[in-house]
Structure 1
């Protein structure tokens, strides 16, 4: 069970890092600015990029903001 939990944590971290990379590639050096300009809760978005808390609903919303499909996002993960 510990191996499964560790694997899940690794995947969550990969998702969080990829979201951060996408934000940075779009020119948003601050997660706060990105959250504010896209009507996202600043603290919630910080948690997402930190791998602390992410829901599917929020992931889909962020990907919609970036105009990226789920398939594109998960293609290389």
Structure 2
């Protein structure tokens, strides 16, 4: 059974993927294959994460651990929260 993901969730997954790619490159890995190999991850699956594929939360934690980052550090860039609209 294929589950349908709403567009706003897909957009967030794309942001997560873009952030993973950015962090990897900042760490000096020009190729996702090398990063995945050095951290005992499936190269093809890691590549999918960088392009916005859905993942388990535990997978995100594993990726952040490999990048030596906290969840706060990871989401500190590219995930700005719009201000709440005040009630009238």
Under TM normalisation by the shorter chain, which class is it?
0.7 to 0.9
1:14 equivalent in structure 2: 15
Asked if residue 33 in structure 1 is aligned to residue 34 in structure 2, the reply is yes
Which protein has the larger Cα radius of gyration, Structure 1 or Structure 2? 2
**Which ranges in structure 2 are unaligned for 5 or more consecutive residues?**
80-88
Structure 1 residue 67: deviation in Å?
1.3
Structure with higher RCO (Cα < 8 A, 6+ apart): 2
TM-score for the superposition, normalised by structure 2:
0.77
CA contact (8 A) 1:47 1:54 kept: no
Q: Which runs of no fewer than 5 residues in structure 1 stay unpaired?
A: none
Show the counterpart of 2:73: 72
Q: 1: CA distance between counterparts of 2:47 and 2:58?
A: 16
CA RMSD of aligned residues (A): 1.4
User: Cα deviations across residues 21-44 of structure 1 (Å, max 9, x unaligned)?
Assistant: 000011101100000001111111
Q: Distance in 1 between matches of 2:76 and 2:30?
A: 25
Matched residues, number: 74
Q: Which has the higher helix share?
A: 1
Shift of 1:68: 0.8
